[in-house]
Chains A and B, each alone.
Chain A
Amino acid sequence: MAELQREFDKRDVQVLTISTDKPEVIHKKRGAHRLKARMLSDRDLAVTDAFGLRNQLVHSGPPGDDVEALPVPTTLLVSSDGKVLWIDQAENYQRRSGPEVVLAALQTYLD
């Protein structure tokens, strides 16, 4: 997603990521993402549940981690007044959309 940074900047898009990782784990791993994003920790899935995105099927989280579930991988594009413009969701976690799908959404909804 880092290759889209210029596209985000051009449209003044703030990027947020949400995972159940602990803040310190996110901090340690964030170099790998090379993304100028606010990376949030949702240990208790409060944000995930507020969006209704908790995965209801097999947990498949990291062994030994006490987190209850994981979110379904989902990307949302939100307008400046807080409305959801576009959603991309994985039906299974092994398949996910590439950056070109996000770029198309930026162009369709924000240009």
Chain B
Amino acid sequence: MKKMIANRKKMGTTLGFVSLAVAILTGILWSHQINQVAIPEDRTLFVAAFLAATGLGVAAFAIGTRWFGGIPAILAIAVGLFLPFTVAISPQQVAENPIRVGDTIPVFTALDDTGDRFRSGDLDGSPALIKFFRGHW
């Protein structure tokens, strides 16, 4: 009986490490794709891989794991859930009347990074590339 429990815990511990390996490998691939600006439109495989890591982590606890197998399992569960969560909240939608091609840009003013005021009138006479982005975030 004791041996059976020990074997199960061994298996659970192994699963804990396997779950973290899946989470890390998927995470590395994900950040590589981000750096290449090449996150695919269909992210199902990534989400499946992250959720698999979570599933394996949960399975490690269900089977029973030693304490040092529990740590990677918890990490895998957290990483595995966090990234699909960011995928879920990533869709963007603008207001009803966003600016469109052919429109004249509105008059605006804002402070730049040195605290100087910029006015859209300053653009007069030269084309511009205006990039709205999420900032340092």
A residues bordering B, Cβ < 8 Å? 1, 8, 11-21, 23-27, 29-30, 37-42, 46-58, 60-62, 65, 70-80, 82-87, 89-98, 102, 110
Contact = CB atoms under 8 A, between A and B. Distances in A.
Interface in B72-131: 86-87, 89-108, 110-115, 118, 120, 123-131
B134 interface: yes
Contacts of B105: 51, 76, 78, 82-84
Interface of B: 34, 37, 39, 41, 43, 86-87, 89-108, 110-115, 118, 120, 123-137
B99 A13 contact: no
A27 to B, nearest CB: 4
A18 B100 contact: no
A80 B125 contact: yes
A24 B136 CA distance: 12
18 contacts: A11-B127, A13-B128, A21-B135, A23-B115, A26-B135, A27-B114, A51-B132, A52-B98, A54-B95, A60-B86, A70-B134, A72-B92, A76-B129, A76-B131, A91-B91, A92-B92, A96-B37, A97-B37
B115 A19 contact: no
Contacts of A65: 137
Contacts of B134: 19, 61, 70-71, 73, 93
A95 B132 contact: no
A26 B108 CA distance: 19
Given A13-B126, A56-B94, A87 B102 contact: no
A30 B114 CA distance: 11
